[in-house]
Amino acid sequence: MTFSDDVLGRARVKDTDQLQTFYDDLGKHETVALWTVANEIEPWFPQPVSVPMLWRYDDLRPLVLESLDLVKADDAGRRVVALVNPERKDISAAVGLLYTGLQVMGPGEFMTAHRHMAAALRFVVEGQGAWTVVDGQKLRVGPGDFAITPNHAWHEHGNEGTDGPVIWQDGLDIPLVNALDAGFYEVHPNLYQEQGKVINSSLLTHGAGQLRPFGFEDGWTKPYSPLFAYPWEQTYAALQNAARASDGSPYDGIILEYANPKTGGSVMPTMSAHMQLLQPGLRTKAHRHTGSVIYNVAKGSGYSVIAGRRFDWKQGDIFCVPSWAWHEHANLSASDDACLFSFNDFPVMRSLTFWREEAYPDNDGHQTTN
Amino acid sequence: MTFSDDVLGRARVKDTDQLQTFYDDLGKHETVALWTVANEIEPWFPQPVSVPMLWRYDDLRPLVLESLDLVKADDAGRRVVALVNPERKDISAAVGLLYTGLQVMGPGEFMTAHRHMAAALRFVVEGQGAWTVVDGQKLRVGPGDFAITPNHAWHEHGNEGTDGPVIWQDGLDIPLVNALDAGFYEVHPNLYQEQGKVINSSLLTHGAGQLRPFGFEDGWTKPYSPLFAYPWEQTYAALQNAARASDGSPYDGIILEYANPKTGGSVMPTMSAHMQLLQPGLRTKAHRHTGSVIYNVAKGSGYSVIAGRRFDWKQGDIFCVPSWAWHEHANLSASDDACLFSFNDFPVMRSLTFWREEAYPDNDGHQTTN
Amino acid sequence: MTFSDDVLGRARVKDTDQLQTFYDDLGKHETVALWTVANEIEPWFPQPVSVPMLWRYDDLRPLVLESLDLVKADDAGRRVVALVNPERKDISAAVGLLYTGLQVMGPGEFMTAHRHMAAALRFVVEGQGAWTVVDGQKLRVGPGDFAITPNHAWHEHGNEGTDGPVIWQDGLDIPLVNALDAGFYEVHPNLYQEQGKVINSSLLTHGAGQLRPFGFEDGWTKPYSPLFAYPWEQTYAALQNAARASDGSPYDGIILEYANPKTGGSVMPTMSAHMQLLQPGLRTKAHRHTGSVIYNVAKGSGYSVIAGRRFDWKQGDIFCVPSWAWHEHANLSASDDACLFSFNDFPVMRSLTFWREEAYPDNDGHQTTN
Amino acid sequence: MTFSDDVLGRARVKDTDQLQTFYDDLGKHETVALWTVANEIEPWFPQPVSVPMLWRYDDLRPLVLESLDLVKADDAGRRVVALVNPERKDISAAVGLLYTGLQVMGPGEFMTAHRHMAAALRFVVEGQGAWTVVDGQKLRVGPGDFAITPNHAWHEHGNEGTDGPVIWQDGLDIPLVNALDAGFYEVHPNLYQEQGKVINSSLLTHGAGQLRPFGFEDGWTKPYSPLFAYPWEQTYAALQNAARASDGSPYDGIILEYANPKTGGSVMPTMSAHMQLLQPGLRTKAHRHTGSVIYNVAKGSGYSVIAGRRFDWKQGDIFCVPSWAWHEHANLSASDDACLFSFNDFPVMRSLTFWREEAYPDNDGHQTTN
């Protein structure tokens, strides 16, 4: 299939002096001739500005730790090194309309509470002692744990450990919120929230998703998960169980989506997250889909081929797949599991009916790398 | 509040000879005067025909075991002793439009496959080795496990143990299906289903309800849970977790509903099930609601007061609460948990908008027993 | 296909003296052997107790009018002649779990307000001047109009005409509500409702279902239609429009369902209603489905074949089709339309996943009448 | 309320040489310090790039008509003058992520079929003879009619009139689709669609939204309205009916949303449309909300105050309200109705839970113009 714009059905008006005069007249009234921009704004297929990227944890970790001394958390608001796609510096996006960064908190450090229209999620990379208070609920999170801060929920974070810093990855839909002119931000009137007495109460109450409270804690009407934290142990056990019953997806191996137990849907309306297991030696097939994805290597090492380019990764590395880019994954170890955490804007694609997906048609499903 | 029918707004036509003649004329055309039946068919509040009942396991168990020798399972279709409300023998209901029975299978025994419009659920009471194949998936279930057989799903059961019989409680909506003239029944054309290779595959795949498969096993469109079995261990652990975060419901203690992880709703569209934990010494308050409930004592001992009458129970006993009957529960032990499994027709009440609930207003929420 | 119960997969235990003793023992504990009732309570296909019936308006009208003089409306509660299936006198049902009757109100007559768990609908048969106040909204309704009184909505009726009585058909789900032990009834504390100033306000506001109020009258959360009356003129025009674009259903001709404009679903959660157009000379094919239906001939004349029996009808006649009975319709006129109003319990069938449908397989889709 | 960024809870790190070095190091790894951009990307409230605009039809009409001679429709793809916000020339948006333009077709002119991920809607401004074929259905549309072309639906347009050109307004979500990297475009393989025989069939079948086909044309599973055209006559009549029952919204007068009769929701998942009636002399109060709106004056004359600036308008004029801008409307005529057609991205705001709204708190709800 060729994608020439010089066909019937595409704009192919040749420029003339007369038209140039007309275009000038249009410009005087804040208008343009559609046909001068049509092919650009209605492309044959998605033309993401973002490019595939991999950020090595070995590169970022020293910088993240350096920031501990350079700025006070409360001066920074949050002490975060943001990963920015070279082509999206204008909107501080890592890929598509997604933002990500690495946040660091020293032992005993904590920050004030705020809330905003952007939704946030956390994936803990290293360190013991991290906590977050979301809508008054205190959660303790450790490496491999996934937690959410839904939009407009008050939140504040800290590190109650004594041994060292905590580093977690933040994921937010800030660029999406801004693209839709919907950003709001508030500092908590008392600077800090009042906290409930029970730590991890949402996990205790809703942490077995197939059993729901009845007659108590069951009047949930918010559009996001009442379960705010998903511990690594349960997640990893679920992956291993699923692997005993299925080969999983040809493109992703055993891949589970963190779900809202009240609906079975995604944890928040704008972002979803997954954890996937690539069994030893597994090499998946390539596919592409609308929607942008940011990965964090939770375990092991391997590589992904994205848009024809190979990116080797190991634990802690972060990489991204732009919309409609072919991608496939491989676990290079013959003996050890590899796990990829990822988050995405698929709920937006589904709500707005923009989801499309296709398998790589050639070469037994594998891209040729260049 | 008084409920006299001799008020404006109720039917209160006095009989006359002239009216009697008129009624006779109406009868000739298969009609009646509404006012002669109105107060009966539109009562002030529900008037269940069913009465509260408790069936002691000590009474039923010998009879159930006796049936092992008396009839062959395949001759019986299923070897089940059905518990029938004394007032609902016409429709073989235990309470309301719910059916229940105790099914027994000897070691090595198994039966042919069938399906029907009635939905079924199982709660295992005693014995090792029970299995059921539901829509081609083989499940192994043990004491305290809950399993479903959704309507129109092929199913067949057996006992692969060697030590002794298995007894489980069946719950079905047979009287509901019949009241709505919707009953269908089919024997499997091959008598037995083909089985998938992996035992308990739905549990492996969907058993962590807050993590759902993505890109595999995720195209579920059926109106019931893809998770067919809920093991006792997970259920009991979830109760204990929830008890650390909440006092639960004033009427039920810590009570969890088995949920469809795809929707967060009930496991099937016509019946739901719960497991509840009554902590040592707990005495709940009374409430009443529309909808009928059948209980099985999963653990411990205690009593319930139903419509002013006290019913003492211990493990294995089965009792029922008719619609709109006041009820409250008590754990008599100061040291041990009591657990009540129950199933009900609440999904029907909710779908049809018939759900109503109220707290017992007097005596600090406790009925006086008579 | 044969439906013998003497096959593997059905209960086929032969009686013995020993078993008889066992059955007696079971009876002492309010239990029965399932196999003694299994084939009856799990039939091969629905076995409705109700039989097909047709009530001639020529027969009923004089009786209905006679009641005007015999009882005062307020003494009767409602002055209604109820149509009762000869086999369902126990529950005052016309067919399945549906109730119907003809209500008559003399000029200037009106009655007190009440509400109940049973949902009601009205189809006006004859007379000018009828009104109903539903949840404080006054509606005026004339022949061919359809109106709803959702469950638990306050309602009161009257006839403000001067020329003569009004007769309308009532349809209620009383037997369903009672079967589920969910009946409640209340007389209005003030006997009469306060009324809004605008007549037919729901029709003015929601009567063009494809255009919905925004920023006013749009916070509707009730589980039924905010549109309480559907005028004949709009309904008949919609039928004629649809007939210009389609042949409609092979079983029903052009058939439209009265819809809740807030959801596109049925007007109430337990009952739905249709109006169908049989064009001159049309003879539909037979089908059968779960769910019970009561028809009122709104226009014209013709016949229906129900379970192999022909029922001839003309305007005003009422007939019923039990669940799973084959049925087909014919308009006997070569020049005039026939219209059938009907109501049913299909929403219940759908909510509970009991809906099944099949086409008559033989004789080009037509039953042979006996 | 002040919105200073120099408070605890906002980023307020002072620049130092040491930090500048650190920022340089971050840049080498495609990262930035969040605190250097945080206040900008997480604003206190929405900061739309788009500005309020009004385009006069008197200005645009001559240019639109001039284009008839300047370019052939098939060379242009579509012959459209696009209205572009002066601040959003980069993405050809009129406001927010919405595109709009005026399309003109000469008598007898027609164009090839295509489809794309962007959803489109039409509002006919002037001229007789316009038609569009959407997914094989031919629709005829005239002044005041509203029509939709859902995403991925094949469509082609033409003018079968003989008297003169047709001008309609196009509204599309092109900038939204591109922002989310989801744009696809296809030319119809046969250049033109096969058409159904019945003109306006969706209108005939679904045009009375409160009555839905049953057993035919009822298997609709697409995420948009099966009704493709909404005629002016019905819309205007519905406005007048609603005005008899209500004063409507304080901010918009009588305002109706074009609805999907299958769901009661918006016509498409990404854009909704309204028609509102400002009765003679009406002056509404100001409010603001997230979401962008483009208006077309369908009838009459008046003015709107947007973000403190007055824009006078008359029939045919187009204006826009950016997200979170205060706005209020006035009909200047003491005798004639004014009607405003508008379309918006509210469905996106709702799906993504970005909807916020508030009333203007001062001066009895009216802005002071500057």
Q: What is the 3-state secondary structure (H, E, C) of B238-260?
A: HHHHHHHHCCCECCCEEEEEEEC
Question: Is D209 in contact with C238 (Cβ distance < 8 A)?
Answer: no
- Lookup: tokens for C309: 């029996």
pLDDT of residue C333: 97
Question: Is A180 in contact with D60 (Cβ distance < 8 A)?
Answer: no
Could you tell me the domains of chain A? 1-44 (no CATH), 53-365 (2.60.120.10)
Residue C257: φ, ψ to 5°: -100, 130
Least confident range from B42-46, C4-8, C320-324: namely C4-8
The count of CB pairs under 8 A between chains B and C is 302
Distance (Å, rounded) from C-alpha C346 to C-alpha C341?
A: 15
Question: Is D211 in contact with C261 (Cβ distance < 8 A)?
Answer: no
- Confidence class for position D369, pLDDT limits 50, 70, 90: confident
Chain C residues touching B183 at Cβ < 8 A: 41-43, 45-47
The chain-wide mean pLDDT, for chain A, equals 97
Q: Over the range D46-64, which residues count as b (16 or more CB within 10 Å of their CB) and which as e?
A: bebbbbbbbbebeebbebb
3+ Cβ–Cβ pairs closer than 8 Å linking C and D: yes
Residue of chain C minimizing CA distance to B17: C70
Residue B75: φ, ψ to 5°: -75, -35
Distance (Å, rounded) from C-alpha C100 to C-alpha C121?
A: 9
Distance (Å, rounded) from C-alpha A227 to C-alpha A219?
A: 14
At C241, which helix (H) or strand (E)?
A: helix C232-245
Q: How much of chain B, in percent, has pLDDT values that exceed 90? A: 97
Nearest C-alpha neighbor of C258 from the set C280, C222, C234:
C234
Residue D320 and residue D273 in contact, taking contact as beta carbons nearer than 8 Å = no
| Cβ neighbours, 10 Å, residue A127 | 20
Residue with tokens 């109730």: C99
Residue of chain A minimizing CA distance to B275: A211
CA distances from residue B117 to A285, A322, B154, B237, C42 in whole angstroms, order as listed:
42, 48, 11, 33, 9
The one-letter code for the residue type at D223 is P
Residue A304 and residue A313 in contact, taking contact as beta carbons nearer than 8 Å = yes
Residue B130 and residue B140 in contact, taking contact as beta carbons nearer than 8 Å = yes
pLDDT of residue D297: 98
Q: D74 exposed, middle or buried (CB, 10 Å; 0-12, 13-18, 19+)? A: middle
- Lookup: tokens for A240: 């291993």
Distance (Å, rounded) from C-alpha C16 to C-alpha B69?
A: 13
Q: How much of chain D, in percent, has pLDDT values that exceed 90? A: 97
Distance (Å, rounded) from C-alpha B110 to C-alpha B121?
A: 18
3 state DSSP class of D78? coil
pLDDT of residue C3: 85
Residue C212 and residue C264 in contact, taking contact as beta carbons nearer than 8 Å = no
The chain-wide mean pLDDT, for chain B, equals 97
pLDDT of residue C1: 55
pLDDT of residue A194: 95
3 state DSSP class of B342? strand
Q: What is the pLDDT of residues C92-116, one digit of tens each?
A: 999 999 999 999 999 999 999 999 9
Subunits in contact with chain B (3 or more CB pairs closer than 8 Å): A, C
- Lookup: tokens for C126: 């004859």
- Lookup: tokens for D138: 């031919």
Chain B residues touching A248 at Cβ < 8 A: 213, 215-216
Subunits in contact with chain A (3 or more CB pairs closer than 8 Å): B, D
Kindly state the greatest CA–CA separation across chain A. Answer: 75
DSSP assignment of C206-234 equals HSSTTEEESSSS----SSS-S--EE-HHH
Nearest C-alpha neighbor of C94 from the set C317, C294, C290:
C294
pLDDT of residue C2: 67
Whether pLDDT at C78 is above 60: yes
Residue D229: beta bridge partners? D147
Distance (Å, rounded) from C-alpha D180 to C-alpha D153?
A: 19
| Cβ neighbours, 10 Å, residue D116 | 21
Residue D352 and residue D323 in contact, taking contact as beta carbons nearer than 8 Å = no
Name which of A91, A292, A353 is nearest D223 (Cβ-Cβ).
Answer: A353
- Lookup: tokens for A355: 């989801």
- Confidence class for position D78, pLDDT limits 50, 70, 90: very high
Question: Is A11 in contact with D290 (Cβ distance < 8 A)?
Answer: no
Question: Is A183 in contact with D46 (Cβ distance < 8 A)?
Answer: yes
Enumerate residues 6+ apart whose C-beta is below 8 A from C240: C277
DSSP assignment of D113-139 equals -EEESS-EEEEEEE-S-EEEEETTEEE
Nearest C-alpha neighbor of C223 from the set C172, C266, C253, C280:
C266
- Confidence class for position D16, pLDDT limits 50, 70, 90: very high
DSSP C280: T
pLDDT of residue B155: 97
Distance (Å, rounded) from C-alpha C240 to C-alpha A204?
A: 60
Interface predicted TM-score (ipTM) of this complex, two decimals: 0.97
Q: What is the pLDDT of residues A248-269, one digit of tens each?
A: 999 999 999 999 999 999 999 9
- Distance between C69 CA and the closest CA of chain B, angstroms: 11
The one-letter code for the residue type at D84 is V
Whether pLDDT at B25 is above 90: yes
Name which of B241, B246, B263 is nearest A207 (Cβ-Cβ).
Answer: B241
Distance (Å, rounded) from C-alpha B201 to C-alpha A279?
A: 19
- Lookup: tokens for C290: 């779960």
Q: D300 exposed, middle or buried (CB, 10 Å; 0-12, 13-18, 19+)? A: buried
Chain D residues touching C260 at Cβ < 8 A: 264
DSSP C316: T
Using only C-alpha atoms, what is the Rg of chain C? 23
Distance (Å, rounded) from C-alpha C26 to C-alpha C49?
A: 28
Nearest C-alpha neighbor of C66 from the set C53, C79, C76, C77:
C79
pLDDT of residue A369: 87
Whether pLDDT at A224 is above 70: yes
Name which of D210, D248, D256 is nearest C259 (Cβ-Cβ).
Answer: D210
- Distance between B92 CA and the closest CA of chain A, angstroms: 29
3 state DSSP class of A300? coil
Whether pLDDT at B310 is above 90: yes
Whether pLDDT at B1 is above 90: no
- Lookup: tokens for B127: 């014995």
CA distances from residue B19 to B30, C67, C73 in whole angstroms, order as listed:
16, 9, 14
The chain-wide mean pLDDT, for chain C, equals 97
Distance (Å, rounded) from C-alpha A370 to C-alpha B301?
A: 71
Q: What is the pLDDT of residues A79-114, one digit of tens each?
A: 999 999 999 999 999 999 999 999 999 999 999 999
Average pLDDT over residues C52-69: 98
Whether pLDDT at D1 is above 60: no
Average pLDDT over residues D123-139: 97
Chain A residues touching D63 at Cβ < 8 A: 22, 25-26, 29, 31
Average pLDDT over residues D195-202: 93
DSSP D10: B
Name which of D212, D225, D241 is nearest C204 (Cβ-Cβ).
Answer: D241
pLDDT of residue B247: 96
Give me the sign of the Cα torsion angle A106, A109, A115, A120. Answer: positive
Distance (Å, rounded) from C-alpha A42 to C-alpha A33?
A: 14
Question: Is A180 in contact with D50 (Cβ distance < 8 A)?
Answer: no
Q: What is the pLDDT of residues D246-294, one digit of tens each?
A: 999 999 999 999 999 999 999 999 999 999 999 999 999 999 999 999 9
Residue C82 and residue C164 in contact, taking contact as beta carbons nearer than 8 Å = no
pLDDT of residue A3: 85
Q: What is the pLDDT of residues B81-138, one digit of tens each?
A: 999 999 999 999 999 999 999 999 999 999 999 999 999 999 999 999 999 999 999 9
Angle CA(D137)–CA(D140)–CA(D145) in degrees, nearest 5?
A: 115
Q: What is the pLDDT of residues A111-144, one digit of tens each?
A: 999 999 999 999 999 999 999 999 999 999 999 9
Enumerate residues 6+ apart whose C-beta is below 8 A from D363: none
Distance (Å, rounded) from C-alpha A224 to C-alpha A269?
A: 7
Residue of chain C minimizing CA distance to D228: C210
The one-letter code for the residue type at A70 is L
- Lookup: tokens for B277: 């934990």
- Confidence class for position B9, pLDDT limits 50, 70, 90: very high
Distance (Å, rounded) from C-alpha A142 to C-alpha A146?
A: 9
Using only C-alpha atoms, what is the Rg of chain D? 23
3+ Cβ–Cβ pairs closer than 8 Å linking C and A: no
Q: What is the pLDDT of residues B197-250, one digit of tens each?
A: 899 999 999 999 999 999 999 989 999 999 999 999 999 999 999 999 999 999
Torsion of CA C88, C89, C90, C94, to 10 degrees: 50
pLDDT of residue B2: 67
Name which of B204, B211, B216 is nearest A258 (Cβ-Cβ).
Answer: B211
| Cβ neighbours, 10 Å, residue B287 | 18
Sheet holding A130-134, edge to edge: A137-141, A130-134, A155-159, A114-116, A185-187
CA distances from residue B203 to B208, B282, D24 in whole angstroms, order as listed:
8, 33, 52
- Distance between A295 CA and the closest CA of chain B, angstroms: 16
3 state DSSP class of B236? helix
Whether pLDDT at B369 is above 90: no
Nearest C-alpha neighbor of B280 from the set B225, B319, B335, B199:
B335
Question: Is B210 in contact with A205 (Cβ distance < 8 A)?
Answer: no
At D73, which helix (H) or strand (E)?
A: helix D73-76
pLDDT of residue D2: 67
Sheet holding D301-306, edge to edge: D309-314, D301-306, D327-331, D287-289, D357-359
Average pLDDT over residues C268-287: 98
Residue of chain A minimizing CA distance to B258: A211
DSSP D9: T
Chain A residues touching B251 at Cβ < 8 A: 215
